[in-house]
Structure formats: structure tokens, C-alpha cells
Amino acid sequence: MVRLADKRMVITGSSRGLGRGFAKACAAAGASVVVNGTNEAALNETAEAIRAAGGKVAAVQGSVAQPAVAQALVRTCIESFGGIDVMVNNAGIVRDRTLLKMAVEEWDAVIEVHLRGAFLCTRQAALAMREAGGGHIIQVISASALAGGFGQGNYAAAKEGMIGLMRTALLELNRFNIRNNALWPVGQTDMTEVVFERARAAAAQRGEPPPDPVALGFGTPEEVAAGLVWLASDGAAHFNGQIMTFNGRKTGLWTHPAERHAAFRDTPWTADDLDAYYTGVQPLPVNAPVRTPPAGK
């Protein structure tokens, strides 16, 4: 089954890591793909690998934080393949630092690529999709967006912002038959290497062998790419406004935030009233994403 036959896609940040795995898998599934990255050599290598495998590909070098690059990505897809069906906002960088030590430049750099880039590419794709009668925009997010990340205040804020962008696009673009979803992939990349370093260090302290990435809930880029292939396909045509997680072996959907312990009264609440009300209310749990598979699986 050629699952993505006739799909015309832009995948940002696809010169290496998960993005490269996404691009290669989508092309292998029949999609025509525009790849993107800032490193010319890595970008060309990715494009050549796709061509060598018989895939259809075009490349646009540059940072998605620049409006001209976002425009070039969509224009290239239309000129090369006749239109754009799917925009995947995957481009990203990390500048990890705890909040008290983070420089403004480190904050801005991450916000610009992830959030500004996602906005620019979402807007540009939506303009073209509106004229064409529809399309699909996918934001690639992270566990940090859903539960924060130690030393990743900039990254977590940017990824949470992409969720807000997705939900706003859902409200505004549904009338144009443009669907919006998000994918939280859990894969082994340069950006997640810090997780393995910490896990290896902790295991060494306990005198244990280093943990296997699969046991930590991580898949290879090739394994994780199957999730994007499915989400971009017509098999997920009933998905709109969804956050899907996938690591190659585990998948799930995250719920939209829901209000709890709501209470109403005819007169305004005072601080004393709130004292009385919340004394008997337990704070809601802070739910951290679970990467590891259930015991026995």
C-alpha cells in the first residue's frame, strides 16, 4: 500500500535526526517532499538519499524563522509538485540552561526557530491551502510542552506555544477544510542524547549496565517516522485538533485541558470564601508523560 501517494508535503528541519527520518519515510510511502535545513551539506545528503531510493524531493536551505524561507518552502512545493497538501513544522534547536542561568539570547534563539518558525510556515501553508480547498498542518511537539523540562524553559515554552498555535488554527482554519494536529515523537536523536547520558550516569552509579533506549521509551528515527506517515495519510482523515504521541512501540492521544472543581455562586467570592472552599479540595496531580512501556510488555 502506497499510503502517501499523491501527497505533497513540506517537512521543516528535515536534514537530519527525526526530520530526516520523517522525510525519507514519507517519500518511501509515495509523497513528494520538500526538505529543509540550515546545513547545506546535510540537506543535500538527505535529498540525494531520497532520490537514490526513487523518491520525489526538492530542497530549500535556510532558517524557518525567516519569512522568506517559509515563503520559499511553500512556493517550491507548489512549483515542483503542483500544490501543497501537508505542512510539517518539525524544525527546532535546543539551548538548554536552567531558568536562572539562561541568557536572553538562548531564550530568543529557541523561540524564534520553534514558535516563530511554526507560525510563519503555518500561515504560509494555510494561505495556499485555503486557495486550493484544504490541507493538513502538523506541529511536531515534545514532552516538554506537556509537562515541562528541567533546563528547557525556552524549549518547553516554544513547544507549548505550538500547541496553542495548533488549537487556534483549528478554530480559524476549519472553515477552509484545513485540518490541524500535533505529533509528540519520542526518538533517539542528537537532541535527546542528554536523556541517555543522564540514564547511563545514573546506572553507573548504581553499578548497573546502561539502559537500552527502548526500555527508556525511545524509538529510532525510522521507527518513529511510521507515526508521521500514518498521521499525514488519509487513514487519519478523521483526526483534527489531536495530539498524538508515538515512539514506534507505544501510541496514545493527549486530552485537551479540562476544568475541575468548578463552583458557582450568586454573589462574588471573597478571599475568605475561597479559603473555605479550597480547604477541602486536593490539588490536581501534575501528570508527567510516561515513556516506558508497561511492565511485561
- Please identify every residue annotated as catalytic: 155
DSSP 253: E
What sign results for the dihedral spanned by CA atoms 230, 247, 116, 93?
A: negative
CA-based torsion, 239, 243, 247, 250: positive or negative: negative
Helix count and strand count (H, E) for the chain:
10, 8
Antiparallel, parallel or unpaired: β 135-140 and 178-185: parallel
- Residue 295's contacts (CB-CB under 8 Å, 6 or more residues apart) are none
The enclosing H or E element of 56 equals strand 56-61
Q: How far is CA 22 from CA 143, 248, 264, 268, in A?
A: 19, 13, 48, 53
